[in-house]
Structure 1
Amino acid sequence: MSDGPHDPDARDSLREILGGRRGALDASVPVVAFVLVWLPAGQLQWWSPVGIAAGAAILAGVGVAVWRLTQGRRPRAVLFGLLGVTVAALVALYTGRAEDFFLVQIFSNAASALVWAISIVIRWPLLGVIVGAALGQRTRWRRDPDLMRGYQRASWVWVAQYVVRVAVFVPLYQAEWVFALGAARVAFSPALVALSVVLSWPALRSALPADHPGIRHPRVPAAPAGGPTVDGSPTNG
């Protein structure tokens, strides 16, 4: 089956690798728990509304982690998600400000935008790293000038979505709109990820000539007989 730049199967492969719907849902559950507990706790003037809400978020994160582990999810991914929730809750507990529950996310989005941009400039676009690893290509895609250019273009889509997140979350944080922060985190962030997944394919495809074999088959120059390739695999003499 064709895997050229206009092949819908190649587009679907990219979407499957970048989809992350389950991860977005998992990350939203602790946020919903935090906001829904903090709102009535504050209105009813319970003891330490932020502390109660932080505890609810951690419990929700533990529940999600246990559920995903029973579903066969990779432990590392699950534990990283739980760690993020715990750190966000601890920050809010330390400052006593509910809006600080979202500080970790704001800083991580800003850092992600910077890291993705740097990866493009140094010619290690993170989209290529992610897709190449998922497809078992190691670094062969870097030897294909068309794929390199395509992954660079598509990586800018992800830089833009992180910048948009920061542009939305920072004013809400400064205004101390906790409910709006939670709503934006639950609805806006997954929508941006979905849009980035959709836009990544045309951005990548625009760099590939019509005769390119596609993302699953990097078109690399022939190496000298018996010499090593860039990814360390020797060629046959």
Structure 2
Amino acid sequence: MQDTSSREAAVAREAGRGKETVLEQAGGVKGVVYSALPALVFVVANGVGGLKVGILAALLVAGGIAAQRLVRRESIQPALGGVFGVAVAAGVSWYTGSAKDFFLIGIWASLAGAVAFVVSVVVRWPLAGLIWNATTGKGVVWRADGRSRLYYDIATLVLAVIFGARFAVQQYLYQADEVGSLGFAKIAMGYPLLALGVLVVAWAARASDKRLKVAGLLPAKRT
């Protein structure tokens, strides 16, 4: 009995390996907070000391976060991505001499994401399904079921709305030269909205997997 329980526990642990939530992939709650800090520091420092001070402060904070994670032997992937993003944003803002351009790349990246999601639905290869099933190793078997495609279409369109909303709101604030509001919008419409989108994708994946298992299109898990 004990051996059986131990074996089942080992199987459960093995099944759970590699399945990280979006929050875990971002470095947990601490990672989400860290990702928001450079933009927040930029807005505050820019308001106090001007553009150059804001850029320098944002770069120092991003670099400091990466260094701290490295020293603590934590995952530095989110921090490195943050450093790269801040460096590019700072470079654009430095080149143009405008504080609002610190957010320019992110604004247009949101539009590009929204367009990509919509186009993927139009061509019947919804990105939500492609990305989710590629990361879980299930391939494209889900495309054999029309209802599964519909589930992933819905999830993909939700993501398109999220990215489109980011673009619309931040582009409006950009045109209005509202640097402080841009920083707030970037943080508020970042991971919170993305988490909502991922929940919808997870719903689509569960609904699709249930149908595919019944149809025998999805192989049973090894025990």
Structure 1 SS opposite 2:210: coil
Which structure features the higher share of helix residues?
Answer: 2
> Which of 50, 60, 75 is equivalent to 1:73?
75
Sort the Cα spacing of 1:135 and 1:163 in 2 relative to 1 into closer, same or farther, 3 A.
same
Identity of aligned residues (%): 33
Please tell me the residue identity of whatever aligns with 2:85: G
Q: Which residue of 1 aligns with 2:44?
A: 36
Please tell me the residue identity of whatever aligns with 1:99: K
Sort the Cα spacing of 1:127 and 1:36 in 2 relative to 1 into closer, same or farther, 3 A.
same
Q: Deviations over 1:122-178 (max 9, x none)?
A: 222221122213322133333333322211111100000111111111111111111
Would you say how many aligned residue pairs link Structure 1 and Structure 2?
A: 195
Matches of 2:44 and 2:79 in 1, distance apart?
23
Within 5 Å, give how 1:181-192 maps onto structure 2: 181-192=182-193
Q: TM-score, normalised by structure 1?
A: 0.70
Sort the Cα spacing of 1:177 and 1:145 in 2 relative to 1 into closer, same or farther, 3 A.
same
Q: TM-score, normalised by structure 2?
A: 0.74
Matches of 1:73 and 1:143 in 2, distance apart?
37
Quote how far apart the aligned CAs of 1:57 are. 1.0
Sort the Cα spacing of 1:194 and 1:111 in 2 relative to 1 into closer, same or farther, 3 A.
same
Matches of 2:159 and 2:97 in 1, distance apart?
33
Sort the Cα spacing of 1:219 and 1:117 in 2 relative to 1 into closer, same or farther, 3 A.
farther
Moved over 6 A (4+): none
Quote how far apart the aligned CAs of 1:16 are. 5.8
Matches of 1:29 and 1:135 in 2, distance apart?
31
Q: Which residue of 1 aligns with 2:169?
A: 168
* C-alpha RMSD of the superposition: 2.9
Quote how far apart the aligned CAs of 1:201 are. 4.8
Q: Which residue of 2 aligns with 1:110?
A: 111
Please tell me the residue identity of whatever aligns with 1:33: V
Q: Which residue of 2 aligns with 1:153?
A: 154
Sort the Cα spacing of 1:205 and 1:221 in 2 relative to 1 into closer, same or farther, 3 A.
closer
Whether the 8 Å CA contact 2:35–2:79 is kept in 1: the answer is: no
Within 5 Å, give how 1:121-160 maps onto structure 2: 121-160=122-161
Matches of 1:59 and 1:178 in 2, distance apart?
20
Whether the 8 Å CA contact 1:150–1:206 is kept in 2: the answer is: no
Matches of 2:106 and 2:181 in 1, distance apart?
14
Whether the 8 Å CA contact 1:119–1:126 is kept in 2: the answer is: yes
Q: Deviations over 1:92-124 (max 9, x none)?
A: 111111111010110110111111112222222
